[in-house]
């Protein structure tokens, strides 16, 4: 009978490596799951954009470049829009029907915090600055100017449409 001890599986694997190095371990399922969760989290924040605002609608919808929004599209919930400026930059604004029944529109920026490029989100009947957290009642949009109030946009109602002139949007491009 052979006097050599039988080697177990570990000894055989160790014998395969002449430099004594251990074999590399494959990533575990947990590491893969963590990587997927992290990647999904990053993608969520990148795609989510600015604050809690819904996705913007890109509009330049008349021959003159004026913005025409059907009044039926507006409610007490602010709707955000992107307007393409002459140099292809986006100017962001919102429109809503405030609690006093008036259709209002303002830039998604203010005189104070516009450099931060964070805009506003809505909480109840207030527009809230995403940079400093100040609240502004929707009925004050277009009424109160300066400071951290949303920069109001001149607008007109023509029939069943809210109209914002392209020239008024272009005149406010310094905020973007």
DSSP 84: E
pLDDT computed for residue 23 by the predictor: 55
Tens digit of each residue's pLDDT (9 = 90 or more) over 97-135: 998 999 999 999 878 777 777 889 999 999 998 988 888
Residue 32 shares a structural domain with residue 65: no
> Distance (Å, rounded) from C-alpha 175 to C-alpha 65?
19
Residue 102 shares a structural domain with residue 31: no
Q: What distances in angstroms separate CA 3 from CA 6, 9, 12, one per listed residue? A: 9, 19, 18
Instruction: Flag whether 33 is in a domain.
Output: yes
Instruction: Flag whether 128 is in a domain.
Output: yes
Residue that is written with structure tokens 């109840």 in the block: 124
Residue 42 shares a structural domain with residue 61: no
pLDDT computed for residue 55 by the predictor: 46
**Residues 6+ positions from 48 with CB-CB distance below 8 Å:** none
Residue 147 shares a structural domain with residue 78: yes
Q: Is the pLDDT of residue 153 over 50?
A: yes
pTM above 0.75, yes or no: no
Counted domains in the chain: 2
Residue 32 shares a structural domain with residue 69: no
Residue 84 shares a structural domain with residue 34: no
Task: Work out the average pLDDT over 39-54.
Answer: 47
Q: Which of 27-36, 145-154, 162-171 has the lowest mean pLDDT?
A: 27-36
Q: Is the pLDDT of residue 6 over 80?
A: no
Domain, as residue range, for 42: 9-48
Question: Bridge-partner residues for 120, per DSSP?
Answer: 129
Residue 64 shares a structural domain with residue 142: yes
């Amino acid at each position: 009978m052979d006097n050599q001890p039988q080697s177990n599986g570990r000894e055989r694997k160790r014998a395969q490596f002449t430099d004594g190095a251990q074999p590399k371990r494959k990533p575990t399922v947990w590491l893969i799951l963590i990587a997927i969760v992290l990647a999904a989290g990053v993608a969520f924040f990148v795609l989510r954009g600015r604050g809690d605002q819904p996705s913007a609608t890109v509009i330049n919808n008349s021959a003159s470049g004026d913005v025409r929004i059907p009044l039926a599209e507006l409610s007490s919930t602010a709707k955000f829009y992107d307007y393409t400026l002459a140099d292809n930059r986006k100017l962001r604004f919102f429109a809503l029907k405030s609690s006093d029944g008036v259709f209002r529109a303002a830039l998604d920026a203010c005189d104070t915090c516009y450099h931060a490029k964070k805009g506003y989100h809505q909480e109840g009947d207030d527009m809230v600055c995403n940079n400093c957290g100040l609240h502004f009642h929707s009925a004050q949009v277009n009424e109160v100017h300066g400071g951290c109030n949303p920069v109001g946009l001149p607008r007109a109602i023509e029939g069943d449409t809210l109209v914002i002139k392209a020239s008024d949007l272009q005149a406010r491009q310094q905020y973007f």
